[in-house]
Structure 1
Amino acid sequence: MKRLLASCLLLLPLAQPATAQEGRIQRGQVFVQTNCALCHAIGRYGDSPLKEAPPFRTLHTRYPIDNLAEALAEGIVTGHPSMPEFQLDPAQINDVIAYLKSIQE
């Protein structure tokens, strides 16, 4: 029993980063669902409701995903013509970037 407990305690730190990443992905998904899904396809499949709004799963073909962090921090002012301006805080940026990475084709 002590060996089992010791083994579990040794594995616990390994499980935490995955759980933290899963939390970021979930929060990022909620953000994009709330703020972006009216125009963009935000999942791994489907077309964007607004034709000129690129599906999020293809963004990596236009921009390195990590490079979007700066644009999200400063406020995205480019994009499709009807895109509202967003400025995210650092935690939201990490969440959205984690989500975008999770859905790339």
Structure 2
Amino acid sequence: MTARVAIALAGLALMLAEPAEAAGSAKRGEALAKANCASCHAIGRRGASPNPKSPPFRTLAEFYPVESLQEALAEGISVGHEGLEMPEYQFTPAQIDDLTAYLKTVNRKR
């Protein structure tokens, strides 16, 4: 194999790997959820939410398509959970991609 072919194959491998990263990192999304959401919501595949009125993340797809949450995350989610006002969060586009990628890993299929 010539050096040019090897370089071309390495470049192709990098280009193919980029779209997955561009779509968001579930690992970073999980860290973001732990830092900002876990005090009220169950963010994993099992367990109860610390605030019983805050829905577990794994059930969000039952109410909303996960992708539809992207706009709300960008504009700032401000929701009340019956007597407890959710803090308003505004996420960057990269954080939204990461959080969306994570939500897709924990949500049940309808």
* TM-score interval for Structure 1 and Structure 2 normalised by the shorter chain: 0.7 to 0.9
- Name structure 2 gaps, 5 residues minimum: none
SS in 2 for 1:86: coil
Structure 1 runs of 4+ with >6 Å offset: none
**How many residues are treated as equivalent by the alignment?**
102
TM normalised by structure 2 equals 0.78
TM normalised by structure 1 equals 0.81
Amino acid at match of 1:24: S
Deviation, 1:46, is 0.6
**Corresponding position of 1:84:** 87
Contact kept, 8 Å, 1:53 with 1:79, in 2: the verdict is no
**Corresponding position of 2:36:** 35
Identity %: 52
Contact kept, 8 Å, 1:58 with 1:104, in 2: the verdict is yes
Q: How large is the Cα RMSD of the aligned pairs?
A: 2.4
C-alpha distance in 1, partners of 2:70/2:18?
24
**Corresponding position of 1:95:** 98
Question: Which of the pair is proportionally richer in helix?
Answer: 1
